[in-house]
Amino acid sequence: MSKLQLDSRGRLQHLLTLEGLERQTLVDLLDRAQRFCVRPGAAVKRHDLLAGRTVANLFFEPSTRTRASFELAARRLGAEVLNLDMSMSSAVKGESLVDTLYTLEAMNVDLFAVRHKDTGVPELLARHAAPHVHVLSAGEAHVSHPTQGLLDVLTIRQRKPDFEHLAVAIVGDVRHSRVARSAVQALHILGTKDIRLAGPKSLLPRKGEMRGELFTDTDKALRGADVIMMLRIQKERIRSGSIPSAQAYFKRYGLNAARLKLAKPDAMVMHPGPMNRGVEIAADVADGPQSAIRIQVNNGVAVRMAVMSKFYS
Amino acid sequence: MSKLQLDSRGRLQHLLTLEGLERQTLVDLLDRAQRFCVRPGAAVKRHDLLAGRTVANLFFEPSTRTRASFELAARRLGAEVLNLDMSMSSAVKGESLVDTLYTLEAMNVDLFAVRHKDTGVPELLARHAAPHVHVLSAGEAHVSHPTQGLLDVLTIRQRKPDFEHLAVAIVGDVRHSRVARSAVQALHILGTKDIRLAGPKSLLPRKGEMRGELFTDTDKALRGADVIMMLRIQKERIRSGSIPSAQAYFKRYGLNAARLKLAKPDAMVMHPGPMNRGVEIAADVADGPQSAIRIQVNNGVAVRMAVMSKFYS
Amino acid sequence: MSKLQLDSRGRLQHLLTLEGLERQTLVDLLDRAQRFCVRPGAAVKRHDLLAGRTVANLFFEPSTRTRASFELAARRLGAEVLNLDMSMSSAVKGESLVDTLYTLEAMNVDLFAVRHKDTGVPELLARHAAPHVHVLSAGEAHVSHPTQGLLDVLTIRQRKPDFEHLAVAIVGDVRHSRVARSAVQALHILGTKDIRLAGPKSLLPRKGEMRGELFTDTDKALRGADVIMMLRIQKERIRSGSIPSAQAYFKRYGLNAARLKLAKPDAMVMHPGPMNRGVEIAADVADGPQSAIRIQVNNGVAVRMAVMSKFYS
Of residues C94 and B270, more confidently modeled: B270
Pairwise CB contact (< 8 Å): A273 & B95: yes
* Alpha carbon distances (Å) from B236 to A92, B113, B172, B229: 35, 28, 14, 21
Q: Rounded to a whole number, what is the distance in Å from the CA of A86 to chain B's nearest CA?
A: 13
| pLDDT for the residue numbered C90 | 45
In this model, does residue C134 exceed pLDDT 60?
yes
Nearest residue of chain A to residue C74 (CA atoms)? A80
Distance between CA atoms of residues B171 and B301, nearest Å: 24
Q: What angle do CA B121, B127, B130 make, to 5 degrees?
A: 120
Mutate which of B92, B108, B112 to disrupt the A interface (most A C-beta within 10 Å)? B108
Residues of C in contact with B231 (CB under 8 A): none
Is the per-residue pLDDT at B237 higher than 90?
Answer: no
How far apart are the C-alpha atoms of C51 and B224, rounded to whole Å?
46
How close, in Å, is residue A9 to chain C by CA atoms?
Answer: 18
pLDDT of A26 reads 98
Asked which of A229-238, B233-242, C114-123 is least confident by mean pLDDT, the reply is: B233-242
pLDDT in tens, C264-306: 999 999 999 999 999 999 999 999 999 999 999 999 999 999 9
- Interchain CB distance below 8 Å, B294 and C102: yes
| B→C interface, C-beta within 8 Å | 38, 40-46, 62-65, 67-69, 71-72, 75-76, 88, 235, 273-277, 294-298, 300-301
How many contacts does B have with C, using Cβ atoms within 8 A? 87
- Count of C-beta atoms within a 10 Å radius of residue B207: 7
What sign results for the dihedral spanned by CA atoms A135, A136, A138, A144? positive
pLDDT digits (tens, 9 = 90+) for B149-203: 999 999 999 999 999 999 999 999 999 999 999 999 999 999 999 999 999 999 9
Residue of B nearest to C105 (CA): B40
Cα B264 → chain centroid: 25
Residue C240: per-residue pLDDT: 73
Residues in A touching C236 (Cβ below 8 Å): none
Mean predicted lDDT score pLDDT of chain A: 94
Q: Which ipTM did the prediction report?
A: 0.95
Chain B hits for C107, Cβ within 8 Å: 68-69, 72, 297-298, 300-301
Chain C residues contacting A, CB < 8 Å? 38, 40-46, 62-65, 67-69, 71-72, 75-76, 88, 235, 273-277, 294-298, 300-301
* pTM passes above 0.90: yes
* Confidence at residue C91, expressed as pLDDT on a 0 to 100 scale: 40
Residue of B53, B92, B105 with shortest CB distance to A274: B92
The per-residue pLDDT for A90 is 44
* Of the partner residues A63, A64, A294, the one whose CB lies closest to the CB of residue B106: A294
| pLDDT at site B66 | 96
pLDDT tens digits, A136-181: 999 999 999 999 999 999 999 999 999 999 999 999 999 999 999 9
Closest listed residue to residue A307, CA positions, set A160, A103, A121, A149:
A149
The pLDDT, as a whole number, for residue A91 is: 40
Average pLDDT value for residue range A252-280 = 97
For residue A305, what pLDDT is reported? 98
Q: For the residues C154-160, what does the mean pLDDT come to?
A: 98
pLDDT above 80: residue C159: yes
Q: Which whole number is the average pLDDT over A128-143?
A: 97
What's the pLDDT band for C1 if we cut at 50, 70, 90?
low
Record: contact B89-A40, CB cut-off 8 A? no
Q: Is the pLDDT of residue C171 over 80?
A: yes
Question: Using the beta-carbon criterion (under 8 Å), do A106 and C298 form an inter-chain contact?
Answer: yes
Q: What is the pLDDT of residues A185-205, one digit of tens each?
A: 999 999 999 999 999 999 999
Region B278-293 average pLDDT: 97
Given an 8 Å threshold on Cβ–Cβ distance, is A132 in contact with C40? Answer: yes
List the single range of A69-83, B81-95, C246-260 with lowest mean pLDDT: B81-95
Whether A52 shows a pLDDT value over 70: the answer reads yes
Mean pLDDT value of segment A247-272: 97
Indicate the residue of A63, A235, A297 with minimum beta-carbon distance to B91: A63
Per the model's pLDDT, the better-predicted residue between A90 and C228 turns out to be: C228
Mean pLDDT (whole number) for B88-116: 85
Asked if the model's pLDDT at residue A239 lies above 80, the reply is: no
Please give the domain boundaries of chain B with CATH numbers for all domains.
Answer: 3-142+297-311 (3.40.50.1370), 147-293 (3.40.50.1370)
Q: How far is C131 from chain B (nearest CA, A)?
A: 8
Taking contacts as CB-CB distances below 8 angstroms, the residues of chain A near C301 are 107-108
Give the torsion sign (CA, A21, A23, A29, A34).
positive
Pick B86 or C125 by higher pLDDT. Answer: C125
Residue C32's identity, in one-letter code, is R
pLDDT at A89: 58
Residue A92 has pLDDT above 70, yes or no: no
| Mean of pLDDT values over C171-179 | 97
Residue B94 is predicted with a pLDDT of 58
CB contact under 8 A, B51 and A43: yes
Close Cβ partners of B204 (under 8 Å, ≥ 6 residues apart): B174, B175, B197, B198, B214, B216
Helix-strand-coil percent breakdown of chain C, rounded to 5? 40, 15, 40
Judged by DSSP in three states, A230 sits in strand
Find the chain C residues whose C-beta atoms sit closer than 8 A to any C-beta of B: 51-54, 56, 80, 82, 84, 86, 88-96, 99-100, 102-108, 110, 130-133
Contacts of A90 in chain C (CB under 8 A): 62
Chain C residues near residue A93 by CB distance under 8 angstroms: 274
Percent of chain B with pLDDT over 70: 97
CA distance A7 to chain C (A): 16
Q: Using CB atoms, which chains have 3+ pairs under 8 A with B?
A: A, C
Average pLDDT, chain C: 94
Looking at CA atoms only, how far is residue C58 from chain B in angstroms? Answer: 11
Q: What is the pLDDT of residues A103-121, one digit of tens each?
A: 999 999 999 999 999 999 9
Number of Cβ within 10 Å of residue C234's Cβ equals: 14
A57-66, A225-234, C247-256: least confident range: A57-66
How far is A69 from A58, CA to CA, in rounded Å?
13
pLDDT at A88 over 90: no
Which residue among B40, B67, B273 sits closest to C108, beta carbon to beta carbon?
B40
At C23 the three-state DSSP class reads: helix
3-state secondary structure of A86: helix
Is C107 in Cβ contact with B69 (below 8 Å)?
yes
Of the listed ranges A37-46, A295-304, C23-32, C87-96, the least confidently predicted one is C87-96
- Report pLDDT digits (tens) over B16-54: 999 999 999 999 999 999 999 999 999 999 999 999 999
Q: What percent of chain C has pLDDT over 70?
A: 97
Per-residue confidence (pLDDT) for residue C86, from 0 to 100? 84
Distant-in-sequence, close-in-space partners of C277: CB < 8 Å, separation ≥ 6: A96, A99, C283, C286
pLDDT for the residue numbered B119? 96
Cα separation of the two ends of chain A = 22
- pLDDT given at position C65: 93
Q: Is the peptide bond before B274 cis (omega within 30 degrees of 0)?
A: yes
Summarize pLDDT for C56-76 with one digit per residue, the tens: 999 998 888 999 999 999 999
Torsion C155-C158-C161-C165 (CA) sign: negative
Q: How far is C51 from chain B (nearest CA, A)?
A: 8
What's the mean pLDDT in C164-192? 98
